[in-house]
Amino acid sequence: MSGTGAPDLTVVGGAGHVGVPLVLAFARAGLRVNINDLNRCALDELAAGRLAFLEQDAEPLLAAALKDKRLAFSTSPAEITAGAPVIVTIGTPVDEFLNPVRKVVQACIDDLLPWLSEGQLLILRSTLYPGTTDWIAGYLERQGKRLKVAFCPERVVQGQGIRELGQMPQIVSGVSPEAEEEAARLFGLIAPEIVRVKPAEAELAKLFNNAYRYIEFATTNQFYLIAKSGGLDYGAIHGAMRHHYPRAKGIPSAGLAAGPCLFKDTMQLAAFAQNQFTLGQAAMLINEGIVLRIIDDLRARFDLAPLTVGLLGMDFKADIDDTRASLSYKFKNMLSGLAGKVLTTDPFVRTDPDLTPLEDVVERSDLLILCTPHSAYRGVDLKGKPVVDIWRFLDGANRLP
Ligand SMILES: NC(=O)c1ccc[n+]([C@@H]2O[C@H](COP(=O)([O-])OP(=O)(O)OC[C@H]3O[C@@H](n4cnc5c(N)ncnc54)[C@H](O)[C@@H]3O)[C@@H](O)[C@H]2O)c1
């Protein structure tokens, strides 16, 4: 491990999207943090003061943390800080059949096991299949390790974690009163308010938060599709519904709802509910299906075969540089079998060699689809090309009805 002095805590997976804002929030609070991550390149980037992805307000905090020597970097489980709290950001993924893969978290705990000591605080941070926290505490005990196991879920918006960590209540749960108390004390250093519940309740609170959001997006997307099939403008209806009407204020605009969390967490909840989560499963059909509905609509209007279609924005949401589970790639995949050519562009993505500069895409495309409403696209001259803009983001564009 690099750096001097014993860190106050270790964040496992600390170089990832969940880890980095958390590490920086603790460093800002004056703690010394051991960033433990298998990805050596990501650690080297952080050690050099560079962020591998967009995270608002992170750069100056990283610079300050490095200057004050508050960060240590380690790649091996053997290098977690002895006796100090360990926060694990690794969560339960779902597989291609939408079943939770429990062994991912277990494998991470197995790796840490030899280096964890009696009474150490182990905080699980990422989304977990319900029951995992209690199961891990029991599993550790069966291996002869009695740890203080807590679950304190991450709930920040990606890219704005630093701001939100300092503003949002932190849900804290522990398998024992001591675990809960120590976790509450630690998170009390960075969160304005602590909400205490049992581990199983915290696990469901996290999943319900994300599934609810996913259902909200599906609701507005279904309204959009209903309005569209009736030949009506959902943007105008959405505006009228919300105008000075407080109960409709929170209805989001129609758009592509994707990313690494909402879909996965909704499916995780469906698995927990023995596939009886009808609202969540319907939300998945709508949010994932909207791409196919838009393409069907385009096929009804145009002969796509000779046309070049340009996709604007490849990230899963606006103004971030994260393409994980982005529906833009579903568009690309489906359209590449139908259109003459598909061009893609994005102002943030650095990892996709197929991207083309925006001006070229606009110039060469017969038809455009706004996949991600990045701020950079506001006011861009689309040269009168017809554009699918389900977000109703592009003022003055030749928007297809
Ligand atoms: N991104 C979000 O906004 C968000 C929010 C809440 C929950 N989650 C969940 O949190 C988890 C992590 O998400 P993320 O977005 O941070 O992913 P990420 O891929 O950005 O980061 C994960 C990091 O963990 C590292 N890692 C993986 N296994 C490791 C191990 N055994 N030991 C040490 N390091 C390890 C990886 O190298 C990577 O740097 C996922 O389960 C995700 O669904 C993400």
- 189 and 269, same domain (yes or no): no
In this structure, the residue with its CA closest to atom 26 of ligand 1 is 13
Whether 396 has a pLDDT exceeding 60, the answer reads: yes
Q: Is residue 2 part of a domain?
A: no
Using most ligand atoms within 8 A of CB, pick from 1, 17, 92, 265 the residue to mutate for ligand 1: 17
Taking the C-alpha atoms of residue 217 and residue 224, their distance in angstroms, rounded to an integer, is 10
Q: How many domains does the chain have?
A: 2
For residues 52-69, one letter each, b for 16 or more C-beta atoms within 10 angstroms of the residue's C-beta and e for the rest, the string is bbbbeebeebbeebbeee
Question: Which among 153, 176, 198 is the end of a domain?
Answer: 198
Q: Is residue 222 part of a domain?
A: yes
Q: Is residue 3 part of a domain?
A: no
Q: Is residue 138 part of a domain?
A: yes
Question: Of ligand 1's atoms, which has the minimum distance to the CA of residue 264?
Answer: 43
Provide the pLDDT for residue 4: 59
Q: What percent of the chain has pLDDT over 70?
A: 99
Length of the chain: 401
Q: Which residues touch 285 (CB under 8 Å, ≥6 apart)?
A: none
The 10s digit of each residue's pLDDT in 260-295 is 899 999 999 999 999 999 999 999 999 999 999 999
Using most ligand atoms within 8 A of CB, pick from 87, 152, 209, 261 the residue to mutate for ligand 1: 261
Q: Is residue 294 part of a domain?
A: yes
What angle is formed at CA 162 by the lines to CA 111 and CA 22, rounded to 5 degrees?
A: 15
Taking the C-alpha atoms of residue 343 and residue 71, their distance in angstroms, rounded to an integer, is 42
The residue segments making up the domain with residue 295 are: 207-399
Question: Of ligand 1's atoms, which has the minimum distance to the CA of residue 75?
Answer: 33
CA–centroid distance, 13 to ligand 1, in Å, is 6
CA–centroid distance, 191 to ligand 1, in Å, is 21
Whether 191 has a pLDDT exceeding 90, the answer reads: yes
346 lines ligand 1 (CB under 6 A): no
Q: Is residue 262 part of a domain?
A: yes
136 lines ligand 1 (CB under 6 A): no
What angle is formed at CA 370 by the lines to CA 364 and CA 376, rounded to 5 degrees?
A: 90
Question: Which among 139, 169, 198 is the end of a domain?
Answer: 198
Q: Mean pLDDT across the stretch 344-364?
A: 97
Confidence of residue 2 (pLDDT cuts 50, 70, 90): very low
Which residue, among 108, 126, 122, 88, has the nearest Cα to 261 in the 3D structure?
126
In this structure, the residue with its CA closest to atom 14 of ligand 1 is 17
- 292 and 172, same domain (yes or no): no
Q: Mean pLDDT across the stretch 233-248?
A: 96
33 lines ligand 1 (CB under 6 A): no
The 10s digit of each residue's pLDDT in 78-111 is 999 999 999 999 999 999 989 999 899 999 999 9
CA–centroid distance, 17 to ligand 1, in Å, is 6
CB 294: neighbour CB atoms within 10 A? 22
In this structure, the residue with its CA closest to atom 41 of ligand 1 is 91
Backbone region of residue 262 per phi and psi (left: phi > 0; alpha: psi in -120 to 50; beta: other values): alpha
User: Parallel, antiparallel, or unpaired: how do β-strands 170-174 and 148-151 relate?
Assistant: antiparallel
The 10s digit of each residue's pLDDT in 53-85 is 999 999 999 999 999 999 999 999 999 999 999
- 136 and 233, same domain (yes or no): no
- 140 and 242, same domain (yes or no): no
Q: Mean pLDDT across the stretch 243-250?
A: 96
Torsion angle (degrees, nearest 10) of CA 353, 359, 362, 363? -110
CA–centroid distance, 94 to ligand 1, in Å, is 14
Taking the C-alpha atoms of residue 209 and residue 164, their distance in angstroms, rounded to an integer, is 15
Longest dimension (CA), the chain: 69
CA–centroid distance, 278 to ligand 1, in Å, is 28
- 322 and 211, same domain (yes or no): yes
- 31 and 169, same domain (yes or no): yes
Whether 3 has a pLDDT exceeding 50, the answer reads: no
In this structure, the residue with its CA closest to atom 18 of ligand 1 is 16
Question: Which among 160, 176, 198 is the end of a domain?
Answer: 198
Q: Is residue 327 part of a domain?
A: yes
- 147 and 238, same domain (yes or no): no
**Residue pair 259/244 in contact by the 8 Å Cβ criterion:** no
Taking the C-alpha atoms of residue 258 and residue 327, their distance in angstroms, rounded to an integer, is 6
269 lines ligand 1 (CB under 6 A): no
- 25 and 160, same domain (yes or no): yes
Taking the C-alpha atoms of residue 362 and residue 194, their distance in angstroms, rounded to an integer, is 49
The 10s digit of each residue's pLDDT in 298-344 is 999 999 999 999 999 999 999 999 999 999 999 999 999 999 999 99
Which residue, among 87, 51, 84, has the nearest Cα to 66 in the 3D structure?
51
- 184 and 274, same domain (yes or no): no
**CATH code: domain of residue 194:** 3.40.50.720
Q: Mean pLDDT across the stretch 183-190?
A: 98
CB 4: neighbour CB atoms within 10 A? 8
Provide the pLDDT for residue 1: 45
- 255 and 384, same domain (yes or no): yes
CB 339: neighbour CB atoms within 10 A? 24
In this structure, the residue with its CA closest to atom 19 of ligand 1 is 16
- 48 and 192, same domain (yes or no): yes
CA distances from 386 to 234, 253, 341, 355, 367 (A): 18, 21, 16, 21, 5
Mean pLDDT of the chain: 96
Which DSSP helix (H) or strand (E) runs through 148? strand 148-151
CA–centroid distance, 20 to ligand 1, in Å, is 10
Which residue, among 207, 209, 222, 320, has the nearest Cα to 264 in the 3D structure?
207
Q: Is residue 1 part of a domain?
A: no
- 214 and 193, same domain (yes or no): no
Whether 5 has a pLDDT exceeding 90, the answer reads: no
